Amino acid sequence: MSERAGVEERRRRSRVPMVVGIVVVAVLAVVIGGVMLTQRSASTGTADPTTPAGSIPISRAGTPFPVVVDDGVVVAGRSAPHTLDVYEDALCPACQSFEARGGARIAKVVAEGKLRVRYHLVNMLDQRSEPAGYSTLGGNAMLCGAENGIFPDLHVSLYTAQPEENGTGYTADQLVDLGKRLGAGPGYADCVRSGKHDQAIAANFAAASKDPDLHHQQTGAFGTPALVFDGKMLQPGDARLDAVAPPL
């Protein structure tokens, strides 16, 4: 290889991680920029038109991806050059909007190995369902789904058909039925009914609400969704997202 060719090859390789970072930030810019513009919108998942009466409708994730549960956090894409931490509540309308606008696109980037996502389920809105406690119940179901092979589809299903805030939440029986129809592993039903991850969800919220780095600029307090990209807080609606990724 000539000296000039060698220089060009090194330049090409040096641009690869930068391009990956730009792609990820561009995806997040489109997704996050519109989160606060609408509270409810159509899902990017594919809905199942045949739903039994009284059951939660199934929606399919655009791209499947494996996950693990690590200390009360659902981790998708364990080895990737960038990390997005998502703090979300199962009853949060803005979280539903975030999932609807960008869930499928983020799933694709995760599946391609360009992004790791850490989902921190919290129970900030537990008192805004009837009966109280759906934020914990729904968040626990998502963690149970992560342990039993159905997280991507369960996650998009619960946000696509999200209960109304200050309305009636889903029951444990409905969540167990949804998991069964999604093909959950044998431990899912007991996990949901026992509230296996309830304490972890409460701990996630307690830690997040006390962390000043997770406070939104508009309110000065923690709220959902809270989004942290490579250790830097993103503000929903902020169009200057190219600033969150340092030069690579």
For residue 62, the tally of other CB atoms under 10 A from its CB is: 18
Burial of 4 per CB tally in 10 Å (0-12, 13-18, 19+): exposed
Pairing verdict, β 59-60 and 73-76: unpaired
Question: Which CATH architecture is the domain 3-244 placed in?
Answer: 3-Layer(aba) Sandwich (3.40)
- 121-146 pLDDT tens trace: 999 999 999 999 999 999 999 999 99
Instruction: Please write the tens of the pLDDT for every residue from 192-213.
Output: 999 999 999 999 999 999 999 9
Indicate the helix (H) or strand (E) that contains 5. helix 3-33
**Lowest-confidence range among 8-12, 78-82, 181-185?**
8-12
8 Å CB contact between 61 and 48: no
CB 97 within 8 A of CB 35: yes
Q: What is the C-alpha separation between 168 and 85, in angstroms, rounded?
A: 29
Q: Cα 236 vs. chain centroid, distance in angstroms?
A: 15
197: tokens are 């991850």
Report the DSSP pairing between strands 83-89 and 226-229: antiparallel
Please answer whether residues 56 and 93 qualify as being in contact, where contact means their C-beta atoms are separated by less than 8 angstroms. Answer: no
Q: What is the pTM of this model?
A: 0.81
Nearest of 122, 161, 153 to residue 139 by alpha carbon: 122
- Out of 39-43, 75-79, 144-148, 211-215, the most confident range is 144-148
Q: How many Å apart are CA 92 and CA 119, to the nearest integer?
A: 14
State both tokens at 65: 């991806």
